[in-house]
Amino acid sequence: MANYKLIVILGPTASGKTDLSIKLAKKFNGEVISADSRQVYKGMDVGTGKVTKKEMKGVPHYLLDVANPKKIFTVVQYQKLALTAIKKIQKKNKIPFLVGGTGFYIQSIVDGAVIPEVKPDWKLRKRLEKKPVEELFEMLEKLDNRRALIIDKNNPRRLIRALEIVLSTKQPVPAVFQNKPNFDVLTLGINKTKEDLVELIGKRLLRRLNNGMIEEVKKLHKSGVSWKRLEEFGLEYRFVAQYLQNKITYQEMADKIQKESEHYAKRQMTWFKRDKKTHWIKNYTEAKKLVENFL
RNA sequence: GCCUGGAUAGCUCAGGUAGUUAGAGCACAGCUCUGAAAAAGCUGGGGUGGCCAGUGCAAGUCUGGCUCCAGGCA
């Protein structure tokens, strides 16, 4: 059986993934699966830069608005839903374009990571969160020496998840295991200089502020999404929420969104650079050529 | 003009009684990641200590002068 083809389009925030993907999808008979950990939530539109119906230009999009922002959506749910969407697209003899900036989500599809079947236990997590990291690390060391050896011992999230698995299964954390799907993957990365990105982020921020981003956050809060939860989303949601609670001024809010977005872009690039197979492109023409050769 | 406070990393500031290679937060640079990933963490480079002189074995730290800044009094 011939392998199915999958085209991945990634890049740092504000690099222009949406525009490029719609152009390419239109040209090559494709449909888009979003790989964005914030666009999955309903009601988070302006702040996440979610494509509008009009911008889609008739190209079907998947994995947008699939979750309630009051609840936490995770990579495992993403993996299942995205794989289903990809199959559906393939069945229609169309080309799936996996598009987004959440490297972890993209990796879960492309590398097919098998994540231990232990659901998040929020009560346990809450309890463990109260303990200092040193103590968490000691606990893990006793229960699973192998995992303790390689884990980031300052990172409570990682420690708590490891403990969650061990305590639930009474077994050590299983070794990393991958079940690679049969995709032929072409990965395109949008290449931007730091200077360009800073400018793009700044312009986009102004646009979002003028397009009702503050109202959007107010509305989310009114509909029952707690400030704490909103702050957890990071970037625009975190700082607009802080502003609305009078924790920071308007100017501080804008400055922080800008700065943190720049940092975020950097973190994304750190992640993306690890995959040496990514083709870094500058424009639509370069992308088009690569896709033509690939298909 | 006088009084007071200040002048230390790109920025905001810590640095009893003078004593090995002057610190923090932020910024900057680099990185980690396998069920919260726009999250959560880690590492690193940086300073002729406003300037000049003096005292001391030793001065960011004491003394004097000068320059600048903030507030107050005139």
Q: What is the pLDDT along chain A (295 residues), one digit of tens a residue?
A: 457 899 999 999 999 999 999 999 999 999 999 999 999 999 999 999 999 999 999 999 999 999 999 999 999 999 999 999 999 999 999 999 999 999 999 999 999 889 999 999 999 999 999 999 999 999 999 999 999 999 999 999 999 999 999 999 998 898 887 887 778 999 999 999 999 999 999 999 999 999 999 999 999 999 999 999 999 999 999 999 999 999 999 999 999 999 999 999 999 999 999 999 999 999 999 999 999 999 9
Q: How many CB atoms lie within 10 A of CB A137?
A: 21
Q: What angle do CA A6, A12, A17 make, to 5 degrees?
A: 50
pLDDT in the model for residue A2 = 58
The CA–C1' separation of A250 and B68, in angstroms, is 34
Same-domain check for residues A105 and A131: no
Same-domain check for residues A52 and A169: no
The residue lying closest to nucleotide B27, measuring its CA against C1', is A259
Cα A291 from Cα A128, distance rounded (Å): 48
Same-domain check for residues A44 and A93: yes
Segment A218-229, tens digit of pLDDT: 999 999 999 999
The CA–C1' separation of A62 and B10, in angstroms, is 45
Whose CA is closest to A113, among A98, A103, A125?
A103
Residue identified by tokens 């992308």 is A287
Segment A20-58, tens digit of pLDDT: 999 999 999 999 999 999 999 999 999 999 999 999 999
Same-domain check for residues A110 and A135: no
Same-domain check for residues A191 and A226: yes
Domain extent, residue A133, equals 122-173
Same-domain check for residues A226 and A84: yes
pLDDT in the model for residue A20 = 97
The CA–C1' separation of A131 and B52, in angstroms, is 56
Q: Domain tally for chain A?
A: 2
Q: Name the nucleotide nearest A39; use CA and C1'.
A: B38
The CA–C1' separation of A196 and B50, in angstroms, is 38
pLDDT in the model for residue A1 = 47
Q: What is the DSSP string of A4-19?
A: EEEEEEE-STTS-HHH
Q: Name the nucleotide nearest A158; use CA and C1'.
A: B40
CATH number for A262: 3.40.50.300
- DSSP-derived 3-state class of residue A69: coil
Whose CA is closest to A72, among A49, A47, A103, A40?
A40
Cα A21 from Cα A284, distance rounded (Å): 9
**Helix (H) / strand (E) containing A22:** helix A17-27
Q: Residue A204: CB partners within 8 Å, gap ≥ 6?
A: A14, A49
Chain B: nucleotides under 7 Å from a protein CB? Answer: 27-42
